[in-house]
Amino acid sequence: MPKISVTSDAQTVITTFETSPGQCQDLLDALQAAYAEFISKQPGFIAAGLHVNDAQTRIANYSQWESRDDFLAMLRSSEMRARNKELNALCRSFEPVLYEVAATY
């Protein structure tokens, strides 16, 4: 489970996907398969969550990694590059952005 803490050394990655209601479920299925079959088994993976807006036009993905290098190694793998091509075909755009926790309430 994700743990959000200012004192954590974890690397946080938030990715937003722009999609359409007709493609949302297909994209969500592909993301769930990617996490179940590959991403969650990679070194440094801690946890992730997938969120869908009411209009089914956006999916937000929150993931935590032990380090930036762990996330980048997963992202650069041949397996993930192939999966990203599939994900790209199911959405208008997606962008992973790395963050550090600044504050919690």
In this predicted structure, what is the pLDDT of residue 62? 95
CB atoms within 10 A of CB 102: 6
In this predicted structure, what is the pLDDT of residue 5? 81
Spell out, as residue ranges, where the chain has pLDDT lower than 50. Answer: none
SS3 95: strand
Q: Is 0.95 surpassed by the pTM of this model?
A: no
What confidence tens digit (pLDDT) does each residue in 53-79 have? 999 999 999 999 999 999 999 999 999
CA distances from 63 to 4, 11, 18, 22, 53 (A): 11, 8, 18, 25, 17
In this predicted structure, what is the pLDDT of residue 3? 75
Domains assigned to the chain: 17-99 (3.30.70.100)
Percentage of the chain modeled with pLDDT above 70? 99
Nearest alpha-carbon partner for 91 in 45, 28, 3, 39: 28
